[in-house]
Amino acid sequence: MKPLKQSKLVSKLLLRHRSNNRLWISLLALFAGTTLLLVAVMIWWNFSLILNGSVNNDSLGSTFLTIGKNVTNEMMGKKNASLFTPRQIEAVAAAPQVEDVGMLISNRFPVYASLSIANGFATDMFLEAVPDRFMDKRPFGWSWEPGNTQVPIILSSDFLNMYNYGFALSQNMPQLSQATIQALAFDLTIGKGGYTEHYTGRVIGFSDRISSVLVPQSFIEYGNKTFAPTIPIAPSRLILKVNDPSDKRFAEFLSKNDYTTNSEQLRWNRMRSVVETVASGTGLLAILLMGIGTLVFILFIELTIAKAKQSLSLLLLMGYSPRYLAMFMLRRFVPLIIIALGMSAIVATTIQDIASTRLISMNISLPDSPGLPVWTALILSAGTLLIFVTRSIFTALRSNG
């Protein structure tokens, strides 16, 4: 007497007529479709991260723009003509696509910097501050309170580049690395005449986002209050977080008000529409492939059941319940679907890992594994697929039982 498993017997009766070719083709189409879908979502997701500035990629340009007033001949000589009035700031905040507005406030007091180790290096300079939420980097030590003698400085990396590739080469001076600059301590003297204060300034980081010499906002506010209490504090430049700078209405707003911005920063955003086209094209193809895969899979199941019609009705006759038989079919085929989708997930994870590793050398940092939108797409497509397959199994059993 040989022990026989019930599922083996049922399998022998119901799945004997299955066409394995159809099964593999449908699984392959499902795998390819799901992989493409995940890749499409990943393209869209990674670029959203870059464009919305959730990751640190200002070298690509970003949706943070600094705007100022175009300095014209008529404005020359009018001292505050280039400053933004509160009403103008409100108008900018309400402009199309603008999500957030921050003020770049500059010093209204003299700042004199000297480098004690290089005797003779001394200059008048300017400082600016922006609210911290607009900063691309907030290195350790980025804070200042009245009474602190150390003032942290963040320098635009453009300035260092200008020095290294322009000034240093032409004047036969040594080029400086970021680390060298960070090791130097400047003497900062602020104020004039009888009352001055002395501080030690240290560059603690470099910004790709803001072309300026930045100090903590608290330091500028303290200096302006102490040395220029009568001058109203108004920003000369504004920093904007913009949803989609490629929006025509936003560009029109800027030109109508004669505001200037670094138009290079808009360039990357034009790529967004290209990327979105690529992502939606891939997505469409993915949905088409998944549709075909699902269809072939469902046809495979229907055909298998139809071919086993006689055995199926005999099993029902003997007391096998339609639910048992449906569950039997599901237990057979759902794991295959899950394996196909799992392989897609593995491919997607690998692609993301490779992409993030490769792009590090281009100064673009991406997460090394796919994020929530990718997994959501996977779960949604798996759910839809399973619903279709389950329904087709029950329908086929009903019509053949």
Residue position matching structure tokens 């220029």: 228
394 binds another protein (CB under 8 A): no
10 binds another protein (CB under 8 A): yes
331 binds another protein (CB under 8 A): no
Q: How far is the CB of 324 from another protein (least distance, A)?
A: 8
Q: How far is the CB of 326 from another protein (least distance, A)?
A: 11
Q: Name which position in 133, 192, 198, 323 contacts another protein (CB under 8 A).
A: 323
Q: How far is the CB of 398 from another protein (least distance, A)?
A: 8
Q: Name which position in 11, 13, 100, 395 contacts another protein (CB under 8 A).
A: 13
Contacts of 304 (CB under 8 A, 6+ apart): 14, 15, 17, 18, 19
16 binds another protein (CB under 8 A): yes
Is 3 in a helix, a strand, or coil?
Answer: coil
Alpha carbon distance 134, 113 (integer Å): 26
In terms of DSSP bridges, do strands 150-156 and 195-207 run parallel, antiparallel, or are they unpaired? parallel
Q: How far is the CB of 385 from another protein (least distance, A)?
A: 26
Q: What counts of helices (H) and strands (E) characterise the chain?
A: 12, 11
- Name the one range near another protein by CB under 8 A: 4-12, 40-48, 178-186, 277-285: 4-12
- Name the one range near another protein by CB under 8 A: 1-9, 27-35, 49-57, 242-250: 1-9
1 binds another protein (CB under 8 A): yes
Is 258 in a helix, a strand, or coil?
Answer: coil
Integer-rounded Cα radius of gyration of the chain: 33
Residue type, 372: L
Alpha carbon distance 84, 69 (integer Å): 8
| Of 9 and 169, CB closest to another protein | 9
| Of 198 and 323, CB closest to another protein | 323
Q: How far is the CB of 399 from another protein (least distance, A)?
A: 12
Q: Name which position in 112, 159, 163, 324 contacts another protein (CB under 8 A).
A: 324
Q: How far is the CB of 309 from another protein (least distance, A)?
A: 13
Q: Name which position in 6, 116, 357, 399 contacts another protein (CB under 8 A).
A: 6
330 binds another protein (CB under 8 A): no
| Of 179 and 317, CB closest to another protein | 317
| Of 10 and 214, CB closest to another protein | 10
Output the 3-class SS for 50-90: HHCCCCCCHHHCCCEEEEEECCCCCCCCCCCCCCCCHHHHH
Which parts of 114-143 interact with another protein (CB under 8 A)?
A: none
Alpha carbon distance 157, 178 (integer Å): 9
Contacts of 21 (CB under 8 A, 6+ apart): none
Q: How far is the CB of 360 from another protein (least distance, A)?
A: 59
Q: Where are the beta strands (DSSP E) in 141-273?
A: 150-156, 185-192, 195-207, 213-214, 237-242, 259-261
399 binds another protein (CB under 8 A): no
Q: Name which position in 4, 76, 118, 372 contacts another protein (CB under 8 A).
A: 4
| Of 182 and 395, CB closest to another protein | 395
| Of 225 and 391, CB closest to another protein | 391
Which parts of 283-322 interact with another protein (CB under 8 A)?
A: 311, 314-322
| Of 8 and 133, CB closest to another protein | 8
Total residues binding another protein (CB under 8 A): 25
Q: Percentages helix, strand, coil for the chain, rounded to the nearest 5?
A: 55, 15, 30
- Interface contacts to another protein, rule CB under 8 A: 1-6, 9-10, 12-13, 16, 311, 314-324, 398, 401
